[in-house]
Amino acid sequence: MRIGASLLLKNGFCYQSYRWQFLRPLGTLQNAIKILEERKVDEISIIRYCRGEDDVSTLDHDLDLITKIDCITPLSFGGGIRDVLTLQKIHQLPVERILLSSAYFEKDQMLIEKAIELFGKQALIAVLPYRVSKEKFEYFHCRLNQFLDCDMSFIDKHSNEVMFYNIDLEGCNHAIQLEPHHFPLPNPKIILSGGVNRTFIKKVRNLDFAAVSFDNASLHHEFNFSEL
Amino acid sequence: MSIICSNCLHNDRHPFGISFVDNICSGCYTHQEKNSLDWHSRRESLFHIADLAKKFRSKGLTYDCVIPVRGVAEDYFVIEQILSLELNPLLVAINDYFFNDIGWHNLHNLITIFDLDSQIFSPNFHEYRELVSTSFRKQLHILYPSLSLNCSYPVHVANERGIPLIIWGQLQPLEQVGKFSHLDSVEMTKWSQIEHDRLGYDIAQVIGNGAHLNPQHLVYYDYPIRARNLGSKAPTGIYLSNYLRWDPLKQNNSILKYGFKPQRETATFDPYERAGSSVYYTAHEISRLHRHGYRKVRDHINREIRHGRVSKKNGENLYQYYCTQKINLAPFFDWLDVSESGRQWIFQHLLGQHTDIITDESDSNHIQYSEFLPASIKNMVSTSFAQTVEFVAFGKGI
């Protein structure tokens, strides 16, 4: 199971998100990446904070920031990827994997197939921000800024892995309550994120998930990812 | 367009970063957490940490924690709390060559009154002054070397002696701008030190080229490598403000009984924070104003607004008052051995927009409080002393 960290990027600066409601500043992207690398994280996901329509100049500024990053750890990048032009810009960056969310909700076949053509299907991660309400999963569509259903079989077919991002526990020091068959896809396809901490890692270590990804807590304490 | 908090004086330009929700800044938003937290159980957590640290003493270790100190009021409060936990600390201090007579008094008094072991590190003066000159020239930051040492050296000491715990006072980014939630229980990390204390640089980046310094001589200015490699034996650093309801002015006022001397300043009403420094409210103040666009007293005023001792309106008036207070840079330039032409160059090319508040005179004996300072605060800051000797290389006795 890979152990990674997510960094939320907004206007060229990293932020911490708490329960999908409140942002706190974190710091510069390069500093965060440098420290995560020293701590031997397996992968780093850079996610642009993007609800509603995106701004092209902000996107270009963030992409420019990524080109200047000094990093040898595998990077995933996403947030606001909504057209082929953006995909082509990202193709020039030192990014191994692409994070798409709204495209999967909208079943944007053209965009997804272009992403597969440019990066390979192994590079595609579908991001599903979710919460559990009355034992039912509810998924958040970022571009429309609301909760909507999604076609899980489409997502399963057109992605390599799926990141389930718990928005209720995001930024909290709680372990996600996990039961077998809790998620609608097989565990080896799933990346868990939102509220992940060291205790949670111990709980899920032997449950065959593809990966876990720390959110805010990755930099709050001094620990070595390879020792988890 | 700049956003201004509807509760305090912060705008969206702060060195730590700041965010807003419904026009309330993250600092004010996070301060409100203090009203709902279970401080009793947080204190219990502190007892638990202390118990774990004491187990190391039972294995033959003399000290169970390191407390980094500067001789400021916060240090007195931290030590008072740590001794109540029956811990046996080693005090670690850095001589940054900026102490004045008050600073040395407060530091030696701290060690004497609490009767604790201490270690004071005086770096090579010429290397240190060259670093100050370099960081002033490159980043317009005169305290970068001091901050680096104050952050890193205690970690080196804890590392080398196998002491498991380092106890800091307040977590500044949380208290000032709510950069973290209290619930995060953020600990000392290399990332935090670089991000919050060192402008995002390590010492090698500051030196770069142009400074006549050998990086091999500057080991203590950087986070120790062994601690970086982590593992279970690296020391843990905690912040007391995560475990105790933090109210700096009230706490600092409470420790006057130990013989601490607050320092009278023209730049702020708070005589406690960084009392004993020859530069914090002079050369550092002007460089800070240039870099961040506001004066330190704004942090003090915001703190008092959040604690309900000053209204925002009065706070604005207070800030306007302190913004007009002048700053004397001559003693710092003398210390740095800056020539007259060098000073003129600095005024013209670096600090040109601030010449209206730069003066050649110091007069800390005739400080008047602003009419907007409430009585409740005046009562807590009325005891203060003027520095009589500044830039004391090493002071002895109390």
Q: Chain A contact for B19, CB < 8 A?
A: yes
**What gap in Å lies between CA B186 and CA A27, rounded to an integer?**
15
CA distance B14 to chain A (A): 10
- Res B46: pLDDT: 96
pLDDT in tens, A66-105: 999 999 999 999 999 989 999 999 998 999 999 999 999 9
CB-closest option in A15, A35, A227 to B190: A35
The structure tokens 């700041």 sit at B18
Centroid of chain to Cα B231 = 29
Quick check: B184 contacting A, CB < 8 Å?
yes
B17–A32: do the CB atoms touch at under 8 Å? Answer: no
Instruction: Give pLDDT, residue A227.
Output: 82
CB contact under 8 A, A18 and B181: yes
Residue A179: the pLDDT is: 58
Question: In chain B, pLDDT over 90 holds for what percent of residues?
Answer: 73
Q: Is the pLDDT of residue B365 over 60?
A: no
Q: Specify the range with the lowest mean pLDDT, choosing from A55-64, A125-134, B51-60, B113-122.
A: B51-60
B377: how many CB neighbours lie within 10 A of its CB? 22
Q: DSSP 3-state assignment of A65? A: helix
Quote the CA–CA distance of A189 and A207 in Å, as a whole number. 12
Instruction: Give φ, ψ of B179 to 5 degrees.
Output: -70, -25
Each residue's pLDDT tens digit, A15-63 = 999 998 889 999 999 999 999 999 999 999 999 998 887 788 889 999 9
Distance CA A97, CA A161 (A): 10
Q: Which of A18, A21, A24 should one mutate to test binding to chain B, selecting the residue with the greatest count of B CBs within 10 A?
A: A24
pLDDT classification of A3: cutoffs 50, 70, 90: very high
- Within 8 A by CB and 6+ apart from B41, the residues are none
Question: What share of chain B has pLDDT > 70, as a percent?
Answer: 95
Cβ–Cβ gap A222/B231 under 8 Å: no
Banded model confidence at residue B363, pLDDT cuts 50, 70, 90: low
Q: Inter-chain contact A16–B180, Cβ cutoff 8 Å? A: yes
Question: Of chain B residues 199-218, which have a CB less than 8 A from chain A?
Answer: 200
> Would the CB atoms of A220 and B26 count as touching at under 8 Å?
no
Check residues B13 and B121 and name the one with the higher pLDDT.
Answer: B121
Integer Cα distance of B101 and B83 in angstroms: 27
According to the model, what pLDDT value does residue B212 have?
76
Q: How large is the average pLDDT for residues B304-322?
A: 95
* B328-356 per-position pLDDT tens digit: 999 999 999 999 999 999 998 888 889 89
Nearest chain B residue to A173 by CA distance is B184
Chain A residues whose beta carbon lies within 8 Å of the beta carbon of residue B30: 24
- Where b means 16+ CB within 10 Å and e means fewer, A98-134 reads bbbbbbbbbebeebbebbbeebeeebbbbbbbbbeee
Assign B311 a pLDDT band (cuts: 50, 70, 90): very high
Instruction: Give the highest mean pLDDT range of A132-136, B67-71, B159-163, B199-203.
Output: B67-71
Looking at per-residue pLDDT, the higher value among A182 and A207 belongs to: A207
> Where is A130: in which H helix or E strand?
strand A124-133
Q: Which of residues 10-29 of A touch B (CB under 8 A)?
A: 13, 15-16, 18, 21-28
Tell me the mean pLDDT in the region A123-134. 93
Residues of A in contact with B198 (CB under 8 A): none
Chain-centroid distance of CA B318 in Å reads 22
Q: How far is CA B83 from the centre of its chain?
A: 22
- Model pLDDT, residue A195: 87
B contact test, residue of A19, A68, A215, A222 with most B CBs within 10 A: A222
Rounded to a whole number of angstroms, the distance from the CA of A178 to the nearest CA of chain B is: 22
Would you call B168 an interface residue with chain A, using a CB distance cutoff of 8 Å? no
- Chain B contact present for A92, CB below 8 A: no
Which of A171, A172, A222 is facing B187, going by the closest CB pair? A222
pLDDT at B230 over 60: no
- B223 and chain A: CB distance < 8 Å anywhere? no
Query: What pLDDT is attached to residue A175?
Result: 60
Distance in Å, alpha carbon of B24 to nearest chain A alpha carbon: 11
| Average pLDDT of every residue of chain B | 91
Is it the case that residue A119 has pLDDT exceeding 80? yes
Q: Which residues of B touch A35 (CB under 8 A)?
A: 189-191, 194
pLDDT, position B352: 87
B227 pLDDT more than 60: no
Instruction: Please indicate if any CB of chain A lies within 8 Å of the CB of B238.
Output: no
Where is average pLDDT lowest: A147-161, A212-226, B256-270? A212-226
Q: Which of A100-114, A130-144, B195-209, B299-313 has the lowest mean pLDDT?
A: B195-209
Write the pLDDT tens digit of every residue in A184-224. 999 999 999 998 888 888 888 889 999 999 988 889 998 88
pLDDT surpasses 70 at B364:
no
CA dihedral B316, B321, B322, B325 (to 10 degrees): 160
pLDDT of residue A67: 93
Top pLDDT among B28 and A216 is at: B28
Which tens digit of pLDDT belongs to each residue from B165-183? Answer: 999 999 999 999 999 999 9
Q: Does A40 touch chain B (CB under 8 A)?
A: no
